[in-house]
Structure 1
Amino acid sequence: MNPLLQIENLETVLYTGSDPIWAVDGLTLHISKGEIFALLGESGCGKSMTARSIMRLLPDAGEIVAGSIKVNGLDILQLSEADMRNVRGKRISMIFQEPMLSLNPVLTVAEQIGEVLQRHFKLNRKMTQTRILAILNQVGIPDAAHRMHEYPFQFSGGMKQRVMIAMALAGEPELLIADEPTTALDVTIQAQVLDLMRELQQRNKMAILLITHDLGVVAETAQRVAVMYAGEIIETAPCADFFQNPAHPYSQQLFASLPGKQKRDQGLAVIDGSVPLLSQSFTGCRFADRCNRAWDLCHQSVPQWYDVTEHHQVRCHLFQGTPEPDIATPVSEAVRNEETAESISLHAAPINTTELLEVTHLKVHFPIHQGLFKRVTGHVMAVDGVSLTVAPGKTLALVGESGCGKTTVGKSILQLIKPTAGHVRYNGLDLVGLERRRLRQVRADLQIIFQDPYSSLNPKLRIIEIIQEGMDALDISGDNQAYYKKSKLPFPREKEIDTLLLQVGLSAEMKWRYPHEFSGGQRQRIAIARALAVKPKLLICDEPTSALDVSVQAQILNLLQSLQRNLGLAYLFITHNISVVEYLADDVAVMYLGRIVERGQMNEVLGHPKHPYTQALLSAVPQIEQQSRRAVIHLKGELPSPAAPPTGCHFHPRCPYVMPVCRQIYPQSSTISATHAVHCYLYPQEPGSLNHDH
């Protein structure tokens, strides 16, 4: 049977500098009708450029210089641009990675879907409106008749992604290309979007090319997998075969980089280095410089394709039949794993029982101003009575969907946002309402690592200036205070900054560079170094690994574990990545709509969740192992607005176990164990207990 999509020896070049970049280099790929095919790999390996080549939507500097792309036998590289417009949206559609950047902000949803319909179908106005309404209902947009006339900014992230899917499906395509369709979404919304794509694929018998770096999403969605590295495919297999027996060393190291509960007593494997520059010419295997099983032949000869099984092929010299030489584990990796194991054993030892941070009844309400005179007409209750504690040298993970108030909690603890009510006690000192001068003295002990390292680093300053700026602002003078105060040198703290950079795994020479000269993982290390420069005792980590590939994420998590061991740091780790929580956290607090609904030790909350929201959150997490997968609990509706939270339990409109009392009064705390508590009427309420979270 002829494949629906047939790509042969595709070469795409970007002319962005003195040397051309071969973003896609000799790629061959076949996708059958009705098949979900996953293209997997790190950022910078050429996945998105492959998708743009198929759509012929390359940047101005891009050009396809060789190969063929056929859809049902039609070579689209031979079509004129006018003919190609009839292919896009009709035969091939694409869901782009960032829906907010892909949707036109000045057109309503109906107008944008209508453009696709007008291009490919001869429909009158009434038929177009009927078709738009049907498509929006098909992708699960609530109250579609009303919302189709709204603008993109009026939709949540998950709803915007559904609108993107609706636009892609409007032309009834044979092939749907989904470029990281769930990267920016919470796990509950991600599960809804993936279920929707599977359902529509089965109903319409269309093929899907799923581009992602999330192994869990691939395991639960795809039928076949191709692994891409440095512009070429290096392994292809049926999904089940790939997850049971990944063949290429790169694929194996990706799996070893994944965090999880079973790896808490060992260091995560790290893929040293980064994806090589695609402007260079390669004489051997492109992964050889980062491979822990490379030998001389790998650097000298380009590997050919070899069969692992009948349908499982790999591009690696290890499978050519020649005995591979004995290769010892690199010393650096052996030492790193040994050190991390020691780190975790020490980290597990109790430091002391005194709470370093104690937050009680914290509220942050933002006023809503309306009218000519900007009168206050209501409040957004972003944080509505949160209580939590963090012990020295321990990690508390704060988890929940986007919009639940996690980041606001972190910023209000640091007094970057002024709390409306409540107390934040650090070592017994209440930071709320503290005099500015006194707060400045304490601030060095409390630092934050922001989610996006690029936007939080000043692009006009070199790294040495960025790190020294914080030290100067908080008067961190090092061991020789008199020297620093009298020094006339432009960078009197240079040696101390060199030590910091080495501590986070960067070379001292990098201090003279600017932020744009670093990769995402390196920028996050710089952000960590800047936070460590003022010698903090508590780090608030706001989604520090959410935008990183699994290999880079492993480096950051190993670093955070090592720093906790060596410096005794405490972490408030804000995230929605449950596998990271399993690996790093001692305690977990689950947040929903400004309140904590469940808290306890990591094994208690993640192993035996009690609150229906926690159960739904964990059930939606994609799992690689078939036996560990739970049935997904589908939540009804969207997260309510914090400006008008539901009465009673905030979760009751979406709860599968809702009772009449849930709609009336917010539940008190129910004690499951000495360390595990939940706010839910499904469990006995403590008579006369105070509600510690509102």
Structure 2
Amino acid sequence: MMPLLEIAKLKTVLNTGSAPIHAVDGLELKIFKGETFALLGESGCGKSMTALSIMRLLPEIAEIIEGHIKLDGNDLLLLPETDMRKVRGKRISMIFQEPMLSLNPVMTIASQIKEVLKQHFILHHTHLHKRILELLQQVGIPDAPRRMTEFPFQFSGGMKQRVMIAMALAGEPELLIADEPTTALDVTIQAQVLDLMRDLQQRTHMAILLITHDLGVVAEIAHRIAVMYAGEIIETATCKDFFQQPAHPYSQKLFAALPERAKRNQGLAVISGNVPLLSQAFQGCRFAERCDHAWELCRQTVPEWIEITPGHRVKCHLFSKEKRSEYQVNRTEKQTTSSVETYQPTHHQDSALLNVTNLKIHFPIYQGLLRHTAGYVKAVDGISLTITSGKTLALVGESGCGKTTVGKGICLLIPVTEGSVQFNGSELTGLPRHQLRKKRTEFQIIFQDPYSSLNPRMRIIDILEEGMNALTPDDPHRIKPEQPLSSYQKENRIDELLQRVGLPPEAKWRYPHEFSGGQRQRIAIARALAVNPKLLICDEPTSALDVSVQAQILNLLRTLQQNLGLAYLFITHNISVVEYLADEVAVMYLGRIVEKGYVDEILNTPKHPYTQALLSSVPAIEATSKRPNRTHLKGELPSPANTPSGCYFHPRCPYVMPICRKIYPEKSTFSPTHSAHCYLYSQNQNSA
């Protein structure tokens, strides 16, 4: 069968600096009609540059110097730009990774979709309006007639991604390129987007090139897989073969870096080092410097393609029969196995470090010239939680449910409407500013995007010193606590902090833009540690990181907790991270906690329908763990400015009863530590 897309010997270079960067170096792949082809790999491996090469949307400094990109046998690289414009959006469409950067902020959603339709079809105004509505309804945008006249900033992340999909589908493409389409989405929205792509593919027989680093997403939707590393593909296989037996050491490392419950008491395997510079000339295997199995041959000779089973090929000397004996001799002489750290379970503390009671954070909605209060956004609507020293409480839920607002409210970074926040027995709400500043040395927050939270004009030494100067911590290394640290002592302290988070001391002289995403997150953690806190509030610290970098950050957080006795409030939507890191879990929906308990109680016996839907939406990697009764949530989170009557979850609940629409349910208790708010169980009494 003839492939829909065929790429042969593709080379794309970036002409920057003294030497060109070979972002894509000899890439070859084939995609057939109706299949989903997944391209896996770390950031910096060339995945997105491959997609831009196919679309011929390369930046000015980039050029394709060799190869072919054939669509139905026609080489796209030979087409003039006028003809290529007819291909883009019509025959090939692309969903970009960051929808907010891809959508025009000053145009309505309808206007942006209309641009695509007018480019490729001749439609009357009435038909244009009807088609836009169809597309928005097709991708699950609620209240499409009203929302089509709104602007991108009025949409949530998941809704913006759906709009991007609607624009990509407007031209009825034969090939859809999806570049990390679900990276920053909640598991519920991610499940909806994957279901949508799967459904559209079945109906239109569209091919999909899925670019991602999420193995769970790949397992859910892909038919064939290619693993990319340092500009080239190093392994290809069917989805089934790849997940049953990944062959290349790099692929095996990606699996070993995944967090899961079975690894709770041990560190995650990490891939040492970084993706090599693509401006250098490679002699041997590009993964050799990071590989546990590499020997001299790997550094001198480029491996050839070897077919392990029909359709499963790998570029690795380990699978060459001629080289296998040489490898065994080398392994006898020098063992290079990687080890992981083991963690001792911390003993449960009886006394609470943080005690939050009936916390409410409401934001007024102003209207009119005189800005009178027309209502309130109930971002946090009466939550209570407790965290003990040395323990981790995971706060999970969809975007927009108020998780980040809880974190900021605990730190008193935003005003609290009502409720109590007690830290170490001291009430924080109502404290004068100067007293609250002193207390802030004991609790710190790590934000989701480290690049946005680090001043780009300040060196790392200045960023870390700023917190130390602002909060003047009682440093354990200080001989006389009443005296401030000298410049020499501060620099030594900064060196210690950087080494503690796995960065060299000389990194302090560099700027944030000179670091990778994972390294910037380490700097954000070091800044939080600079004032010796007892509690860290971690707001999605690993959401946009590769699995290998995520493993490094999770290992770091576990080690810090083990050594320093830190407590964590871990805000996340990644259930795999919750399984690995959390001691307790609180499930949040529309400003309220609907279920909480120990991690095993929540994950093994979820009671609330929302918790069940969250867990059901998590992509399953192993075939044996596929859940037969998957229940994906329908619709969107209601607006916190107009909360439903009764149980807030009732508009989306499959088990809704008349009473659910009238009165919010009281707490149902299943054990001393496990409770939920749901009418499916007896109220205010023990229930099995």
- TM above 0.5, yes or no, is yes
Distance in 2, matches of 1:373 and 1:679, equals 40
In structure 2, C-alpha distance between the alignment counterparts of 1:499 and 1:163, rounded to whole Å: 47
Shift of 1:352: 2.7
Query: Alpha-carbon deviations, 1:174-200, whole Å to 9, x = none?
Result: 111111111121110110010010110
In the alignment, what sits opposite 1:658?
656
What is the deviation of 1:152?
2.4
Worse overlay, 30-39 or 147-156: 147-156
| SS of residue matched to 1:502 | helix
User: Matched residues in 2 for 1:475 and 1:147: separation?
Assistant: 49
Give the deviation of 1:612 after TM superposition: 0.3
Partner of 2:437: 440
Mapping 1:304-319, distance limit 5 Å: 304-319=304-319
Query: Which residue in 1 is equivalent to 2:621?
Result: 624
Q: Does 1:684 align with 2:682?
A: yes
Counterpart for residue 506 of structure 2: 509
State whether residues 283 and 300 of structure 2, in contact with CA within 8 Å, keep that contact through their aligned partners in structure 1.
yes
Asked if the contact 1:97/1:181 (under 8 Å) is kept, the reply is yes
What's 1:172 paired with?
172
Q: 1:452 aligns with which of 449, 455, 458?
A: 449
Give the distance between the partners of 1:552 and 1:203, measured in 2 at CA: 37
Following superposition, the deviation at residue 482 of structure 1 comes to: 4.8
Q: Which residue does 1:2 correspond to in 2?
A: 2
Equivalent residue in structure 2 for 1:606, among 603, 607, 611: 603
Match of 1:158 in 2: 158
Q: Which amino acid aligns with 1:240?
A: K
Contact 2:468/2:530 (<8 A) preserved: yes
User: Once the 2 structures are TM-superposed, how far is the Cα of residue 122 of structure 1 from its aligned partner?
Assistant: 2.3
Q: How has the CA–CA distance of structure 1 residues 487 and 555 changed in structure 2, closer, same or farther, with 3 Å as cutoff?
A: closer
**Offset from partner CA, 1:39-72 (integer Å, 9 cap, x none):** 0111111101000000000011111110000000
CA distance in 1, matches of 2:510, 2:662: 58
Asked if the contact 1:471/1:477 (under 8 Å) is kept, the reply is no
Kindly report which structure 2 residues correspond to 1:331-370, keeping only aligned pairs within 5 A, or say none. 333-334=338-339, 337=340, 340-341=341-342, 343=343, 345=344, 348-370=345-367
Q: Which moved more, 1:495-504 or 1:611-620?
A: 495-504
- Structure 1 window deviating more from structure 2 (366-375 vs 105-114): it is 105-114
Instruction: Tell me the CA shift for residue 146 of structure 1.
Output: 3.4
Report if the CA contact (8 A) 1:284-1:303 is conserved.
Answer: yes
Listed one character per residue, the Cα deviations across residues 483-511 of structure 1 (whole Å, up to 9, x for unaligned) are: 9957774x541112111111111111111
Partner SS state of residue 309, structure 2: coil
Letter in structure 1 aligned against 2:299: H
Instruction: Letter of the 2:346 partner, please give it.
Output: A
- Please give the residue correspondences for 1:79-478 in structure 2 after superposition, counting only pairs within 5 Å: 79-321=79-321, 322-323=323-324, 324-325=327-328, 326-327=330-331, 330=336, 333-334=338-339, 337=340, 340-341=341-342, 343=343, 345=344, 348-476=345-473, 478=475
2:382, 2:591 within 8 Å by CA — same for their partners in 1? Answer: yes
Question: Is the contact between residue 472 and residue 484 of structure 2 (CA under 8 Å) also seen in structure 1?
Answer: no
Q: Which moved more, 1:45-54 or 1:371-380?
A: 371-380
Aligned partner of 1:539 in structure 2 is 536
Cα deviation, residue 145, structure 1: 3.2
Shift of 1:148: 2.7
Alpha-carbon separation, structure 1, partners of 2:163 and 2:516: 31
SS of the residue corresponding to residue 638 of structure 1 reads coil
**Contact 2:669/2:685 (CA < 8 Å) preserved in 1?**
no
The DSSP-based 3-state class of the residue aligned with 1:444 is: helix
- Structure 2 distance, partners of 1:329, 1:548, is 30
Matched-pair contact (CA < 8 Å) for 2:346–2:562: no
Q: Deviation string for 1:198-244 (max 9, x for gaps)? A: 11011101110001000000001000000001110000000000000
Partner SS for 1:24: strand
**Residue 419 of structure 1 aligns to which amino acid in structure 2?**
V
The verdict on how the C-alpha distance between 1:486 and 1:455 changes in structure 2, with shifts beyond 3 A counting, is closer
Contact 2:668 2:685 in 1 (8 A): no
Does 152-161 or 8-17 show the bigger shift? Answer: 152-161
Retained in 2: the 8 A contact 1:598–1:678? Answer: yes
Q: Deviation per CA, 1:457-495, whole angstroms, max 9, x where unpaired?
A: 111111111111111212136333559957774x54111
Per-residue CA deviations over 1:368-420 (Å, capped at 9, x if unaligned) read: 11111111111111101010000111110000001111111111111111211
Q: Distance in 2 between matches of 1:141 and 1:393?
A: 43
Change in 2 beyond 3 A, CA 1:625/1:516: same
Choose from 552, 555, 559 the match for 1:558.
555
The answer to whether the Cα contact below 8 Å between 2:363 and 2:377 also exists between their aligned partners in 1 is yes
Structure-1 separation of matches of 2:606 and 2:207? 37
CA distance in 2, matches of 1:425, 1:87: 60
Cross-structure match for 1:691: none
Deviation at 1:139, TM superposition (A): 2.1
User: What is the identity percentage for the equivalent residue pairs of Structure 1 and Structure 2?
Assistant: 69
Aligned partners of 1:329 and 1:154: how far apart in 2? 57
- Looking at structure 1, the residues matched to 14 and 400 of structure 2 have their Cα atoms a distance apart, in angstroms, of 38
Structure 1 Cα separation of the partners of residues 484 and 664 of structure 2:
59
Structure 2 residue matching 1:672: 3-state secondary structure: strand
Counterpart code for 2:383: V
Measured in 1, the distance between the counterparts of 2:672 and 2:163 equals 46
Change beyond 3 A, Cα 1:349–1:146? closer
Aligned residue-pair number: 679
Shift, 1:129, TM fit: 2.4
Equivalent of 1:521, from 518, 521, 532?
518
| Distance in structure 2 (CA, Å) of the matches to 1:35 and 1:488 | 63
**Distance of 1:162 and 1:311 partners within structure 2:** 34
Work out whether residues 484 and 493 of structure 1, in 8 Å CA contact, stay in contact via their aligned partners in 2: no
Once the two structures are TM-superposed, the CA of residue 163 in structure 1 deviates from its matched residue by 1.7
The one-letter code of the counterpart of 1:617 is L
SS in structure 2 of the partner of residue 396 of structure 1: strand
Q: Distance in 2 between matches of 1:569 and 1:124?
A: 63
How far off its partner does 1:604 sit?
0.3
Partners of 1:671 and 1:548 in 2: how far apart?
37
Displacement, 1:422?
0.6
Structure 1: how far apart are the matches of 2:362 and 2:134?
Answer: 39
| Amino acid aligned to 1:452 | D
The 2-side partners of 1:109 and 1:95 are apart by 15
Q: Is the 8 A contact 1:636 1:653 kept in 2?
A: no
Higher mean C-alpha deviation, range 148-157 or range 447-456: 148-157
Q: What is the distance in 2 between the residues matched to 1:119 and 1:249?
A: 46
**CA shift at 1:15, angstroms?**
1.4
Which letter maps to 2:614? L
Q: Is the contact made by 2:361 and 2:418 (CA closer than 8 Å) also made in structure 1?
A: yes
**CA separation in 2, counterparts of 1:412 and 1:133?**
39
1:571 and 1:138 map into 2 onto residues whose CA distance is 41
Q: Is the 8 A contact 1:361 1:386 kept in 2?
A: yes
Cα contact 1:4–1:72 (8 A) shared by 2:
yes
Contact kept, 8 Å, 1:6 with 1:71, in 2: the verdict is yes
| C-alpha distance in structure 1 between counterparts of 2:642 and 2:362, whole Å | 12
**One-letter amino acid of the counterpart of residue 215, structure 2:** L
RMSD: 1.7
1:620, distance to aligned residue in structure 2 (A): 0.5
Counterpart of 2:21 in structure 1 is: 21
Would you say the 8 A contact 1:501–1:508 is kept in 2? yes
- 1:151 deviates by 2.6
